[in-house]
């Protein structure tokens, strides 16, 4: 019989990428860990929203939601910006977060490609 921890089950249901439907906005790359003993599973998730004045605003809201039941722990591993153009089906990832540093845009890009398979998703380290 295969046993899966509660944390691993929760992580399996977390969307890998959730961003605004269009525009230019800040994003964070969050590493979600299991808090359960003997379970070292983790997953990286991308969150980007135009309502956020600071990268920390996104991280605080998302981590609070994910950590609320006590099974998961979150860590922000960096941030940047996303330019999402649904008309041309293009997403561009760039820049960095003053507070969290630069996210690994290659990881972010892979998460976004999985979420938007019919898009051209690119990244670079230019800009703020």
Q: How many CB atoms lie within 10 A of CB 7?
A: 21
Q: How many CB atoms lie within 10 A of CB 41?
A: 15
Q: Which of 55, 71, 92, 105 is catalytic?
A: 55
Catalytic residue status for 55: yes
Residues paired with 29 in a beta bridge: 46
User: Is-contact 36 47, C-beta < 8 A?
Assistant: no
User: Is 26 annotated for ligand binding?
Assistant: yes
Contacts of 65-69 with C-beta under 8 Å, sequence gap 24+, read 66/14, 66/30, 66/32, 69/10
Output phi, psi for 4, to 5 deg. -125, 135
Which two three-digit tokens encode residue 89?
A: 């089906």
Active site residues: 55
Residue numbers belonging to the annotated binding site for substrate: 26
């Amino acid at each position: 019989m295969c046993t899966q921890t509660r944390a691993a089950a929760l992580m399996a249901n977390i969307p890998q990428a959730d961003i605004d439907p269009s525009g230019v906005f800040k994003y964070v790359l969050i590493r979600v860990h299991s808090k359960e003993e003997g379970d070292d599973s983790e997953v990286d998730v991308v969150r980007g929203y135009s309502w956020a004045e600071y990268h920390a605003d996104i991280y605080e809201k998302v981590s609070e939601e994910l950590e609320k039941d006590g099974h998961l722990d979150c860590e922000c591993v960096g941030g940047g910006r996303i330019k999402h153009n649904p008309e041309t089906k293009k997403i561009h990832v760039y820049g960095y977060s003053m507070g969290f540093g630069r996210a690994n845009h290659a990881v972010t890009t892979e998460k976004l490609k999985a979420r938007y398979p019919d898009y051209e998703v690119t990244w670079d380290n230019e800009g703020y």
